[in-house]
Amino acid sequence: MQRVRLLVFNPVLNVLDYRVPPGMAVELGSVVLAPLGPRQVLGIVWEPERLEGTEVPDAKLRPLLELLPVPPFPAPLRRLIEWCADYYVAPMNAVARMSLGSMAALRGGGTATEYRLSGVEPARLTPQRAAALDALHGEQASIRELAELASVSEGVLRGMVGAGLLEPVTVDLDRPYPRANPDFVQPQLNPDQQAAADQFVAAVEGHTFQPFLLDGVTGSGKTECYFEAVAQALRLRKQVLVLLPEIALTENFLRRFEARFGTPPVLWHSSLKQSERRRAWRAIVGGQAQVVVGARSALFMPYKALGLIVVDEAHEVSFKQDDGVRYNARDVAVIRARFESIPVILASATPALESLQLAEQGTYTKVDLPARFGGAELPDVQIVDLREEAPPRGRWLSPRLVSELKDRLLKGEQSLLFLNRRGYAPLTLCRHCGYRFQCPNCSAWLVEHRLSRRMACHHCGHQVGVPDECPECHTGDCLVACGPGVERIADEVVELLPEARLAVVTSDTLNSPEKISEFVAKAEAKAIDVIIGTQLVTKGYHFPELTLVGVIDADLGLEGGDLRAAERTYQQVAQVSGRAGRGEKPGEVLIQTRHPEAAVIAALAKGDRDAFYAAETEARRDAGAPPFGRWAAIIVSSEDEAEARDAARAIGGKRPNLPDVMVLGPAPAPLSLLRGRYRYRLLINARRSAQVQAVIREWLGQFTFPPGVRVGVDIDPYSFV
Ligand code: ADP
Ligand code: ZN
């Protein structure tokens, strides 16, 4: 008899043993369906010696039900899952879940039915049907997805199918993706680029673990260089994974990829349609997907023959996942490359201090692109001290910035104003009684969005209409907006430069691939004079006519006591500055600040990156922060405030007493209420010598909490809220 040990996908149970029925050919990594009580459970066949479970006697084992028709999870992926569970103190099946496709994808094959408008124009329409007709133009998806798109019930759409207004379309879920051609268009690389590309190509050929830090100034052609490595992987019939920090960046990337390789890559992100997701997952597992471009979740997929991983804009915070399994995709990418024995390229103009340190130690191979492509100069950076050159009351643009804006408008050049705040104003209050609009589910203000006439919580999505009167004292016309968001800056620009054509670029306005393409096309056609945007515009874009960048408030990111606040400010301002002067005309950057003396601002002003990193290194060394020490957080939450507090206190009461581990808290988390849950936090600061994960596991292992309490562990946290 053959017995197997499974990692099972069940929230309570993790490991179960089964018997393999005769004729079923399972091997390590096979994905199987097994009985669990009266139900069924998915599982992956694992090395029994690597999974701790209770030994069940042979006679008691139940037989597996089914072997699913997917290739087994290869050993490197199984090791990656184990590593992540261990390092991030997460349940192994929660990590493995990220590798698994839907049940439909696992079973594979076949077709799906989607629906689209049939073109039939009915004589009479209910308002709901009319709205659906309007919203579904050009769309094709499942009834459920269409219902979501059109904001109508599935019933309405089924009725429309019955009436012949929507027609079914059969989609082949295994239809192949077009092949990318590594030699479609071969760019002429400059000598620096060529040297970088040569190293990457050699590493792809070598098929050994080699991490690279591609450190190149903005506009140096980092993408062009790693595309050569992608081309080589294609020639060798290896798969490539390119991780991008944001879906908004993929549009631009797709165009460049298509120009270089003749066809777009395979996309993977959370907003894919069900059928697309299924098709992509199958193609990834089967090896047919050659190049996959995706958000961090693409990292855990069971690639058939991975040959290269690229993490673009590797310093970006959005690679850090802050719920579910809390992991950093940049770091996991390196670990995956190690287990797969392949090269990994981390590309950035402003690498994280941790990455630079690893490069200096020789752990990463550093590859530099010191100059912009085509001889473009880096922009000239000037500081505007807001204490001396203050804007008029209730305004945010200093006179100098306004005059530069006017100058660009006269010359027909473009400007970009950067403020990392969506909406019109971050806080609204009543002038009469002092009432402040707060989210009922979170300890956060509601942000006014004038364009959509809503007040919204940026944490949980709670929304209300903007009222005419104060909800507390019922005085009319008494609400005041405090502080600026991008929409308010746009209003100011309209008043100052009425003839300027504006584009407000945030995740609210650029929320679909179509809108992103439209924006890029307009900016390239010079149909936009002033772009006003959040961090969404700081990277990826290349507008040759853009010659002025104004940073509205460089101090904003420095508030809030975040460990990486200085680094993030440096990165954001350097990235957004990097949008200026990318063409033939020189660029200029004005940074508005009240703290010109702060090390980060001074370094930005002098364009002295080394000075910034040196100051930051010292600050981190003093604080015992990464890379010199380590941080971890324990977040305790519950819908019941007392329950959360008691649990956090209990944990705090049993804190480990070790010389190299310091525990701070418990204290209410800065966001003490989030999505209706009260949150308490303990922070752990440890020396590098400490076995933090083992300490935390043992420490938390002593408790059983009430079912309403959630205890999360965040290793190497980014957000301290
Ligand atoms: P980075 O990502 O380093 O900021 P990009 O890869 O976006 O830089 O390159 C900046 C611009 O220069 C892009 O428009 C890119 O197409 C162009 N470019 C870079 N290298 C080359 C090259 N060797 N040949 C042609 N165009 C290039
Ligand atoms: Zn909220």
Degrees (nearest 5) of the Cα angle 361, 718, 506?
Answer: 115
Place 275 in a pLDDT band, splitting at 50, 70 and 90: confident
pLDDT digits (tens, 9 = 90+) for 541-586: 889 999 999 999 999 888 766 778 899 999 999 999 989 888 889 9
Give the pair of three-digit tokens for residue 308. Answer: 């290269």
pLDDT digits (tens, 9 = 90+) for 615-630: 999 999 998 999 999 9
**609 alpha-carbon distance from chain centroid:** 25
For residue 349, the ligand 1 atom closest to its alpha carbon is: 3
CA of residue 217 to ligand 1 center, whole Å: 11
Ligand 1: lining residues by beta carbon, under 6 Å? 187-190, 193, 216, 218-224, 373, 542
CA of residue 423 to ligand 2 center, whole Å: 15
Place 677 in a pLDDT band, splitting at 50, 70 and 90: very high
CA of residue 575 to ligand 2 center, whole Å: 30
Place 111 in a pLDDT band, splitting at 50, 70 and 90: confident
Domain 3-99 - what CATH class? alpha beta
Give the pair of three-digit tokens for residue 195. Answer: 């040297």
Superfamily of structural domain 191-373:
P-loop containing nucleotide triphosphate hydrolases (3.40.50.300)
Give the pair of three-digit tokens for residue 500. Answer: 């300027």
| Residue 580 vs residues 342, 380, 413: alpha-carbon distances, Å | 36, 9, 11
The β-bridge relationship of strands 414-418 and 427-430 is unpaired
Average pLDDT of 463-485? 92
For residue 218, the ligand 1 atom closest to its alpha carbon is: 4
Instruction: Of 91-95, 175-179, 446-450, give the lowest mean pLDDT range.
Output: 175-179
pLDDT digits (tens, 9 = 90+) for 206-216: 999 999 999 99
Give CB contacts under 8 A, 24+ apart, made by 687-690: 687/624, 687/629, 687/630, 687/660, 687/661, 688/628, 688/629, 688/630, 689/660, 690/630, 690/658, 690/660, 690/661
**Domain at 629-715: CATH architecture:** 2-Layer Sandwich (3.30)
Provide the 3-class DSSP secondary structure of residue 452.
coil
pLDDT at 375: 82
| Percent of the chain clearing pLDDT 70 (strictly above) | 100
User: Quick one: which ligand is closest to 458's CA?
Assistant: 2
The β-bridge relationship of strands 530-533 and 39-46 is unpaired
The count of other CB atoms within 10 Å of the CB of residue 327 is 25
Which of 542, 577, 579 has most ligand 1 atoms within 8 Å of its beta carbon, as the pocket-test mutant? 542
Instruction: Check residue 324 and give left, alpha or beta (phi > 0: left; psi -120 to 50: alpha).
Output: left
Q: Parse the chain into domains and list their residue ranges.
A: 3-99, 112-172, 191-373, 376-421+484-617, 629-715
CA of residue 705 to ligand 2 center, whole Å: 26
Average pLDDT, the chain: 92
User: Quick one: which ligand is closest to 192's CA?
Assistant: 1
pLDDT at 119: 83
Place 96 in a pLDDT band, splitting at 50, 70 and 90: very high
CA distance 540 to 253: 8
Query: Residue 419: which residues within 8 A CB-CB, separation 6 or more?
Result: 396, 484, 485, 486, 489, 532, 533, 534, 552, 553, 556
pLDDT digits (tens, 9 = 90+) for 394-437: 999 999 999 999 999 999 999 999 999 999 999 999 999 999 99
**Alpha-carbon torsion (447, 451, 454, 458), positive or negative:** negative
CA distance 134 to 197: 48
pTM of the model: 0.91
Give the pair of three-digit tokens for residue 391. Answer: 């804007």
Degrees (nearest 5) of the Cα angle 73, 76, 77?
Answer: 45
Which of 213, 215, 224 has most ligand 1 atoms within 8 Å of its beta carbon, as the pocket-test mutant? 224
Give the pair of three-digit tokens for residue 619. Answer: 């600050």
CA of residue 408 to ligand 2 center, whole Å: 40
pLDDT digits (tens, 9 = 90+) for 509-534: 888 778 888 999 999 999 999 999 99
pLDDT at 1: 64
pLDDT higher for 244 or 53?
244
CA of residue 225 to ligand 1 center, whole Å: 9
Place 131 in a pLDDT band, splitting at 50, 70 and 90: confident
CA distance 443 to 463: 15
CA distance 399 to 416: 16
Give the pair of three-digit tokens for residue 639. Answer: 């819908």
**For ligand 1, atom 6: residue with the closest CA:** 221
Place 487 in a pLDDT band, splitting at 50, 70 and 90: very high
CA distance 63 to 6: 12
* CATH code, residues 376-421+484-617: 3.40.50.300
Note whether 191-373 and 376-421+484-617 share their fold. Answer: yes
Q: Quick check: 263 and 179 in contact, CB under 8 A?
A: yes
CA distance 89 to 336: 17
For residue 188, the ligand 1 atom closest to its alpha carbon is: 23
pLDDT higher for 193 or 252?
193
Average pLDDT of 135-158? 86
Among candidates 112, 116, 140, 105, which has minimal Cα distance to 289? 105
pLDDT digits (tens, 9 = 90+) for 586-615: 999 999 999 999 989 999 999 889 999 999
